[in-house]
Each structure stands twice: as structure tokens, then as C-alpha cells.
């Protein structure tokens, strides 16, 4: 509507100018009049000037409108000019409506930003953002309380708390998650995310102190371990103590004092001999238990190197070749991509895989189809997975929650220490070992490398 009125106004002015020019020329050349053409010339000049003013006015309003948007100045208002009549009243009204929409949008945006800042400041997770040159953009109260760094304005100031922590933070990739122990009271879980804001790249860090949770879990672990130790030791000590009492009774009842020594009945001697053998066996079992515990608590730090997953799988299959052949178990390998590599201690990870493949093979002894899947899968920035899958009887839910507890086992033979050691090795690799099982269908053990 506005554009139509503008076009009509310009067209009428041009048409009027054309009529005046032709009329003036006709009067001058045909009627030999001078005054009338001169007056018409002045009229044409006036119309041209009015049209220039008419066009410039709307251009100026449009320029002012665009400048207001450019500089986010939404306080401007547009009013109708009496010299232009009412033809651009709708234009002014439209400009004012657009400015009001922008003003409301900015107010809502500022409210949302304020709300977001309040949330960030009140959450218990530490939040820090910094740009490529290290300048801190956002840091909330939780981060300040965790780090206790005065005048924390640059990410490099983190080096005042721990140079090693600063190095790890700067080397983190987007989406990566890591843990770092700063001191006895501060154990941080750090996650990194990248984002763009204002045309600039920013790194966003979230920090959580899990020291309290670790202490709680550590206490629970010690309590569970104490229960296991007490159970195992009592299982050995109780029969030994009972046997000692029985042997003393046998000696008292079946032995006689003679001039040159002691005489014992044959049945009593055999009972004592059997009792001593039992004590020896139980003592040996207790020694083996203590040795297993020692192995669990003395795992060396991993010596990491870049290892092709294919090479790991080939080593495991070669070491287990005869055992798998004897058990008639087949292993299918899958690596995506084929040149997949991980950073690990190859000896320790090989030990884990051998343990998992052996357990999977033993679980399928009563089945006709004995197939184990050994997979290596890249997840990009999320890390790498190595999975051992079997289709044996599976693990019931109750056992699934306890199979990583030291000395717990579902097998008739075994120390129950293998999976516990395997998980600890993965923890030392800053990875994880988890299991999923559907009884009667499948069991999948997953090694995750960050």
C-alpha cells in the first residue's frame, strides 16, 4: 500500500512536470508568449525541488532506521512530516512497529542473559570460558571457590594452582573428559566444550570436585573388602581352630605314656595325619588368597605407547590359540577403521583381553555354537571402544552388580580377582571397563579408552 502510494506520487509529479514543459514550449513557440512559459518553468522547478525533498525525506528516514538497527539504538521514533502529507504515514508507523519489536526482542534477550548468568552463578558445577588468547570470559562462584585463585583473569593463571593441570586443560579436545587430583581435598572432573560467540571461538570448561564422593566410595569399598577378607579368613581359621581342638582330644584319648616315649593308637595316628593335611591345605589356600590380594594392590603404572588394535587382537589370539582350539571356540574380529590405534600399555591390555576371552570361552562350554566377537570401534573425540561379546548363558542382575568386587566369583574354580584387576588397570589408563548382559542372549564387556 505504501509502495503504491509512493509510486503514484512520483508518477503524478513526473506527469505534471512533463505537461508543464510541453505547455510552456507550445506557448513560447506557437503563441509567442514569454511570461506564461516563465511561470510554468518556475512551477516545474518547484515541483522538481518538492520531488527531491519528497524522495530524500524517505531516504533519510530509511537511513536513520537502518542506523538504529546497526547500532542497536531502538529509542528512535518516526513521525509524519506535514510537508509530505499523509502518504508516508504508514511508513512511519511500520518503522515504529519494527523498532518496538526490536526493542522488545532486545529486552527479552537481556532478561534471558541475566537469567542465564544467575543460573551459572548459582549452580554447584564450576564454569569457566576462555578464548584462544586465554582471556577469561565467564567464571562462576563455584569455580572461584574450587580453585581459590585470586585475580583469575587469564587461563594461564591456572598454572599458579598446578602447572600440570594447566597443561592438561590446554591440551584437552572438545568433548573430552579428564580427571585430575590437585591435592588431598580437591579431585577434579573436567569436561571441555567448544562454542562460538560474537564471531570468536571459546572453550567452555566444567569442573566438579568429586573428592567427597570418592571418599564415600572408598569407605564403602574398604567396608566391602573387609567383609570379603573377614569371610575368607574366617572360612580358613574356623576349621583350623576346630581341627586343632579335635587333634588335642585325639592325643589325650589315644596316646599312652611309656618309659621310652609316647604310644598312640593307629586310628588316632591316622586321624591326626588327616587333620594335619587338612590344616596344611587350608593354610595354603589362605596364603594363595593373601597373594591374590597382594597382586590386586600392586598393579604398576601403565607404560603407554601407540598400539594398533589389530596387533593387540593378533597377540591375544596367538596366545590363546591352543586353548580356543581345545574348547572348540571361534573368535570373530572386527576393527573400524582397520588402522585403529590406541594409547595403552600393550602388556596390561593384552592381559585383560585374555582374561575376558577366556571367561567368555568357559561360559559357552555347554553350547553348540561357541562364537566370540572381538571388536575395536572408534568414536572420534568420544574415544575408542574394545568389546568382547559372547552368547553364553549371561550374567544375572544380582551377580552383574558384584562381579568387579575383589574375590567375588560365579565360577566353582577361580580367585575372583581377574575382573577386579582388569577394571583397576583400565582406571589407571583413565578409561573404564563395563559390562552389559542379557541372560540367555549375550554378554558384552566394553573397554573404553578416552
pLDDT-wise least confident of 104-113, 157-166, 325-334: 104-113
| Contact criterion met (CB below 8 Å) for 403 and 395 | yes
pLDDT-wise least confident of 66-70, 303-307, 406-410: 406-410
pLDDT of residue 7: 67
pLDDT of residue 150: 82
Q: What is the residue whose three cell numbers read 568387579?
A: 404
User: Which of 51-55, 194-198, 263-267 reaches the highest mean pLDDT?
Assistant: 194-198
Q: Where does residue 78 rank: exposed (0-12), middle (13-18), buried (19+ CB within 10 A)?
A: buried
Mean of the per-residue pLDDT values of the chain = 78
pLDDT over 70 at 385, yes or no: yes
Please give the Cα distance from 235 to 286 (Å, whole number): 9
pLDDT-wise least confident of 129-138, 252-261, 330-339: 252-261
pLDDT band at 3 (very low <50, low <70, confident <90, very high): very low
Instruction: Please write the tens of the pLDDT for every residue from 242-301.
Output: 777 777 787 777 666 666 677 777 777 777 777 777 777 767 766 766 666 566 556 778
Residue bearing the bigger pLDDT, 161 or 73: 161
pLDDT of residue 274: 77
Among left, alpha and beta (phi > 0; psi -120 to 50; other), residue 175 is: left
pLDDT of residue 342: 92
Mean pLDDT along residues 177-196: 84
pLDDT over 70 at 238, yes or no: no
The three-state secondary structure class of 173 is coil
Instruction: Please write the tens of the pLDDT for every residue from 205-219.
Output: 888 887 777 667 666
pLDDT band at 14 (very low <50, low <70, confident <90, very high): confident
User: Which of 82-91, 352-361, 416-425 reaches the highest mean pLDDT?
Assistant: 352-361
Instruction: Please write the tens of the pLDDT for every residue from 352-379.
Output: 898 899 888 888 887 778 899 999 999 8
Mean pLDDT along residues 379-401: 84
| Contact criterion met (CB below 8 Å) for 129 and 136 | yes
Among left, alpha and beta (phi > 0; psi -120 to 50; other), residue 380 is: left
pLDDT band at 17 (very low <50, low <70, confident <90, very high): confident
Sign of the Cα torsion 31, 32, 38, 44 reads positive
Among left, alpha and beta (phi > 0; psi -120 to 50; other), residue 148 is: left
Supply the pTM of this predicted model.
Answer: 0.45
Rounded to the nearest 5 degrees, what angle is found at the Cα of 344, between the Cα atoms of 294 and 380? 135
Domain 123-209 has CATH 3.40.250.10: no
Domain range list for the chain: 2-109, 123-209, 214-297, 305-449
Domain 305-449 has CATH 3.40.50.970: no
pLDDT of residue 79: 63
Residue bearing the bigger pLDDT, 349 or 92: 349
Residue bearing the bigger pLDDT, 437 or 46: 437
CATH class belonging to 214-297: mainly alpha
Contacts of residue 400, defined as CB under 8 A and 6 or more positions apart, other chains included, come to 435, 437
Rounded to the nearest 5 degrees, what angle is found at the Cα of 312, between the Cα atoms of 306 and 316? 155
Please give the Cα distance from 435 to 419 (Å, whole number): 11
Give percent of the chain above pLDDT 90: 8
pLDDT-wise least confident of 144-153, 181-190, 214-223, 383-392: 214-223
pLDDT of residue 396: 82
pLDDT band at 446 (very low <50, low <70, confident <90, very high): very high
Amino acid at each position: 500500500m505504501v509502495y503504491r502510494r509512493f509510486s503514484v506520487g512520483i508518477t503524478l509529479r513526473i506527469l505534471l512536470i512533463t505537461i508543464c514543459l510541453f505547455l510552456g514550449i507550445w506557448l513560447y513557440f506557437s503563441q509567442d508568449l514569454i511570461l506564461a512559459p516563465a511561470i510554468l518553468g518556475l512551477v516545474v522547478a518547484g515541483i522538481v525541488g518538492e520531488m527531491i525533498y519528497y524522495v530524500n525525506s524517505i531516504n533519510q528516514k530509511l537511513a536513520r532506521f537502518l542506523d538504529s538497527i546497526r547500532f542497536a539504538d531502538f529509542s528512535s521514533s518516526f513521525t509524519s512530516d506535514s510537508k509530505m502529507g499523509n502518504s508516508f504515514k504508514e511508513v512511519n508507523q511500520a518503522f515504529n512497529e519494527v523498532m518496538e519489536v526490536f526493542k522488545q526482542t532486545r529486552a527479552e534477550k537481556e532478561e534471558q542473559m541475566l537469567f542465564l548468568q544467575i543460573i551459572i552463578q548459582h549452580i554447584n558445577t564450576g564454569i569457566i570460558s576462555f578464548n584462544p588468547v586465554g582471556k577469561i570470559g565467564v567464571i562462576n562462584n563455584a569455580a572461584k571457590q574450587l580453585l581459590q585463585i585470586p585475580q583469575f583473569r587469564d587461563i594461564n593463571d591456572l598454572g599458579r594452582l598446578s602447572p600440570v593441570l594447566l597443561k592438561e586443560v590446554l591440551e584437552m579436545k572438545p568433548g573430552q573428559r579428564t580427571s585430575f587430583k590437585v591435592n588431598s581435598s580437591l579431585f577434579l572432573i573436567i569436561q571441555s566444550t567448544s562454542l562460538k560467540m560474537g564471531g570468536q571461538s571459546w572453550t567452555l570448561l566444567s569442573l566438579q570436585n568429586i573428592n567427597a564422593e570418592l571418599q564415600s566410595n572408598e569407605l564403602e569399598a574398604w567396608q566391602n573388602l573387609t567383609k570379603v577378607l573377614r569371610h575368607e579368613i574366617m572360612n580358613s581359621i574356623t576349621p583350623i581352630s576346630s581341627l586343632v581342638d579335635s587333634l588335642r582330644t585325639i592325643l589325650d584319648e589315644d596316646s599312652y605314656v611309656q618309659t621310652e616315649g609316647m604310644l598312640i593308637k593307629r586310628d588316632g595316628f591316622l586321624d591326626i595325619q588327616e587333620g594335619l593335611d587338612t590344616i596344611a591345605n587350608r593354610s595354603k589356600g589362605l596364603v594363595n588368597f593373601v597373594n591374590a590380594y597382594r597382586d590386586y594392590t600392586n598393579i604398576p603404572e601403565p607404560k603407554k605407547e601407540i598400539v594398533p588394535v589389530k596387533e593387540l587382537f593378533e597377540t591375544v589370539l596367538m596366545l590363546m590359540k591352543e586353548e580356543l582350539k581345545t574348547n572348540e571356540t571361534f573368535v570373530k574380529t572386527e576393527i573400524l577403521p582397520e588402522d585403529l590405534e590406541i594409547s595403552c600399555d600393550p602388556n596390561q591390555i593384552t592381559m585383560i583381553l585374555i582374561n575376558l576371552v577366556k571367561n567368555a570361552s568357559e561360559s559357552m562350554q555347554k553350547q553348540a555354537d561357541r562364537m566370540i566377537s572381538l571388536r575395536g570401534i572408534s568414536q572420534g573425540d568420544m574415544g575408542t571402544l574394545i568389546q568382547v561379546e559372547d552368547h553364553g548363558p549371561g550374567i544375572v542382575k544380582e551377580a552383574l552388580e558384584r562381579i568387579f568386587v575383589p574375590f567375588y566369583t560365579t565360577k566353582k574354580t577361580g580367585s575372583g580377582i581377574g575382573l577386579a584387576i582388569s577394571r583397576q588397570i583400565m582406571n589407571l589408563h583413565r578409561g573404564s571397563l563395563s559390562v552389559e548382559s542379557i541372560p540367555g542372549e549375550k554378554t558384552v564387556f566394553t573397554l573404553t579408552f578416552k
